Amino acid sequence: MVIVGAQWGDEGKGKVTDLLAERADLVVRFQGGNNAGHTIVRDGEEFKLHLVPSGILHPGTMCAIGNGVVIDPKIVTDEIDALRRRGIVTGNLRISANAHLIMPYHVFLDTAGEAKLGSLSIGTTRRGIGPCYADKSSRLGIRVQDLLDEKILRKKIMAAMEPKRQLLRPHAKDPALDLHAMTEEYVTYGHRLEPYIADTAKLCWEALDSGEAVLFEGAQGALLDLDHGTYPFVTSSNPIAGSACVGAGVGPKDIDDVWGIAKAYSTRVGSGPFPTELEDEVGDRLRERGGEVGTTTGRPRRCGWLDLVALKYAVRLNGMTGLVLTKLDVLSGIDPIRVCVRYRGAEGATFEEFPYHQSVLHHATAEYEELPGFTEEIGDVRTEDGLPDAARDYLRYISDFVGVPITLVGVGQGRDQVIWVGDEEARTLRAA
């Protein structure tokens, strides 16, 4: 089963994966880097994870960071240390030997690249992820397995830095970019990470071949996809479901289910088009009630109404079999609720489908359907029947519009604050 973001990321994938991880034998991350931040609240305790899959909180679940992820070894070792300090066992973690490493020069290049773009900047998290994927494509990447051989590592770093000399010139004297110091530092990470390094694709095959439940955990969301998102305001990898195959090393036929996670409204971090953005008190209310501040960056998120044109696009791109709607509780007290059902272009044309042309999207305004809101607090509701009529109608409207059943609804931060729709819980349990 694949779990993906159906919007611009931050949809609450962490909580959903955590919930499903309990029922899975193996959880695998397949793309992105430490630009993804998951917040999981368990028994009132908050865990922030950037690289380690959410399944780590379940001692019986194996967790893998797949080949498609880019890894900052400092971040992953810090994350392992922090988890261990809080009594979480990390012996069930595996890291792909083929995953690419974020190097200090990637971080410098990311920052320099964004600064150069000025007002056109993409709003990257400046963690070196884009430049790392670029090196991977240029075949200049350094992989996790290279950490285990100092000589090879040094040679590869030298080769990777050579074409960047000019760009790195302003930082030439920075100790972080010294070849020997860098090699030494990374060899040390290698020693630390060695027990975790493995052939994670093989781990997936073994689990699949013996009928175990494997959960592929995506980061970011469909509209940030490098190929299908709002390019160039996108992430540097493919967060859609098909990418799980590439980033973990399995085939399309290995996937039975694809669940997309969407909020009951929309948010976006960083720059780029966002047709349903609200710059009024409703937007402020969503931001406040929804706690819409980035896990990784601390940046306030842009907030707006649910965009069904974009969501329908995400459904198709991912071949979604189920939709999870999180944060329904945040809409309580907002009446009416609006949902975007089409866009209107600058020249008056209407668009029922997500426009492929960048200029059209940049100038598109959202057209809305108004639905009745609800005032009840729903944090304690655990069944569909227990929801106010307006909330139930809202769910039905969304599901009918995008043509995918809603399987799970989030009504609060806590992991128990969910509503399983229909017999989805029984079905998921059976599948596991």
Catalytically active residues, by annotation: 10, 38
Residue 424 CA from chain centroid, whole number: 23
Instruction: Point out the residue whose Cβ comes nearest to ligand GDP.
Output: 410
Tell me the C-alpha distance between 407 and 338, whole Å: 22
Q: Which CB atom, from 63 or from 330, has the smaller least distance to ligand GDP?
A: 330
- Computed on alpha carbons and rounded to an integer, the radius of gyration of the chain in Å comes to 22
Q: How far is the CB of 296 from ligand GDP (least distance, A)?
A: 8
Q: How far is the CB of 292 from ligand GDP (least distance, A)?
A: 8
User: Contacting ligand GDP (CB under 6 A), which of 29, 186, 410, 420?
Assistant: 410
Q: Is residue 327 involved in binding ligand GDP (CB under 6 A)?
A: yes
Tell me the C-alpha distance between 323 and 431, whole Å: 17
Of 112-120, 177-185, 309-317, 323-331, the window that binds ligand GDP (rule: CB under 6 A) is: 323-331
Q: Is residue 413 involved in binding ligand GDP (CB under 6 A)?
A: yes
Tell me the C-alpha distance between 36 and 70, whole Å: 11
Q: Is residue 330 involved in binding ligand GDP (CB under 6 A)?
A: yes
Q: 209 Cβ partners below 8 Å, 6+ apart?
A: none
Helix, strand, coil share (%) of the chain residues, nearest 5: 40, 20, 40
Q: Which CB atom, from 73 or from 412, has the smaller least distance to ligand GDP?
A: 412
Tell me the C-alpha distance between 300 and 286, whole Å: 11
Q: Which CB atom, from 38 or from 94, has the smaller least distance to ligand GDP?
A: 38
Of 30-38, 67-75, 342-350, 397-405, the window that binds ligand GDP (rule: CB under 6 A) is: 30-38
Helix 104-117 × helix 129-137 angle, to 10°: 110
Q: Is residue 12 involved in binding ligand GDP (CB under 6 A)?
A: yes
Q: 154 Cβ partners below 8 Å, 6+ apart?
A: 179, 180, 183
Q: Is residue 10 involved in binding ligand GDP (CB under 6 A)?
A: yes
Binding mask 37-56 for ligand GDP (x = CB under 6 A): xxx-x---------------
Cβ atoms of 264 and 8 closer than 8 Å: no
User: Contacting ligand GDP (CB under 6 A), which of 4, 7, 14, 136?
Assistant: 14
User: Contacting ligand GDP (CB under 6 A), which of 145, 188, 295, 297?
Assistant: 295
Residue 111 CB-half CA count within 13 A = 8
Which residues sit at the interface with ligand GDP, rule CB under 6 A?
Answer: 5, 10-15, 36-39, 41, 291, 295, 326-327, 329-330, 410-413
